[in-house]
Homo-oligomer: A and B are copies of this chain.
């Protein structure tokens, strides 16, 4: 039935009833960002609230996908259902990786308890930062208890998305300079848990010391939750049970302290602000047409006025 209709409520009902194809189509519909997408978003928003998001992020090549796969495998031994949102151009989930990784991922492809979705980096009008929370809410609404969001920890938008999970895991590798780069990319600020992955290589202790040192210099070390630093080998699964214990431990901690509620409220407020801004941006596109716009553009092109002053001029007309 869901195959034939694009009607949001029927599609949503089918997805809630466990129809994976309907869920996939509901997510595609959401990504379009049109009227039907808005309706789908409204439907999803009325349900849910029980799902929990875990962000896994780090530099390209840190082994996030392999680690994510190992985490899924571990979680599935307990029968827990899990969804994965992959926002990472180098992820095997999104199809851009070496053959070995792809094959490894296909273990989960036949497991009905695992739902994997990659997010296109283009498409949604509000960009990834607005498309991601909507996709998460949909997965939450249809009853996925754990939602893992894998993002590459490079790029302004991607690091921000990574930091919007309930629990954020930052993946580093043994080796000099890795933690310095994580710091520069803003990853240190968003970490609830550090993982030194590929820990079968040399330099684990040095990296651990580097992270400890950065923690000492930051505010994080003095918060009630001090991010633990764990070691894993994604390819063998070593250290993954301890990582998952840390995730559930962090969940219990922020659940108990009220921090989870604060985080979620903060995220929703930020999202709301961003939606308002996108709406205004849309309005700006409408404003930026017509004779006055053309003449101001000509002034800018001929260097009679700089772009910022021209923008001020233009906005005088819309009261913004």
Chain A residues packing against B (C-beta within 8 Å): 38, 41-42, 45-46, 49, 59-61, 89-90, 94-98, 121-122, 127-128, 152, 154-158, 176-177, 180-181, 184-186, 265, 268-269, 271-273, 275-277, 279-281, 283-285, 287-288, 296-297, 300-301, 303, 306-312, 314-315, 318-320
Complex: A66 Cα to B160 Cα, angstroms: 29
Considering the complex, give the chain B residue whose CB is closest to the CB of A297: B269
Contacts of A128 in B (CB 8 A): 156
> How often does this chain occur in the complex, in copies?
2
Shortest distance between the CB of A166 and any CB in chain B (Å): 16
Shortest distance between the CB of A233 and any CB in chain B (Å): 21
Contacts of A96 in B (CB 8 A): 177, 180-181, 184
Contacts of A273 in B (CB 8 A): 284-285, 288
Interface of A is mostly: helix
Asked if B272 contacts A280 (CB within 8 A), the reply is: no
Shortest distance between the CB of A77 and any CB in chain B (Å): 31
Asked if A157 contacts B154 (CB within 8 A), the reply is: no
Most buried by B among A41, A156, A158, A284: A284
Known contacts: A273-B288, A301-B268. The answer to whether A60 contacts B154 by CB under 8 A is yes
Asked if A315 contacts B280 (CB within 8 A), the reply is: yes
